[in-house]
Amino acid sequence: MPADLRKAHQKLDAAVERCYRKEKFKTDAERLSFLFARYQVLSKTERHI
């Protein structure tokens, strides 16, 4: 991955972490798991509206 694209991804990851948690995610897998769990909760809520 080009260095500038990697840096952009790192900045985005940091922004996501600040939105949801005080501490950083330990791994990318932990971040994805958290985000997909949030998506599932939010998508279920929207269907019942």
Collapsed DSSP state (helix, strand, coil) of residue 18 = helix
State the pTM of this model. 0.66
d(CA 24, CA 20): 10
pLDDT score for 44: 83
pLDDT in tens, 1-49: 899 999 999 999 899 889 988 888 999 899 999 999 999 998 887 665 5
> What b-and-e string marks burial along 3-41, b requiring 16 or more CB atoms within 10 Å of the CB?
eeeeeeeeeeeeeeeeeeeeeebeeeeebeeeeeeeeee
Question: How much is the pLDDT for 21?
Answer: 86
At residue 49, the pLDDT reads 52
User: What is the C-alpha radius of gyration for the chain, rounded to an integer number of angstroms?
Assistant: 13
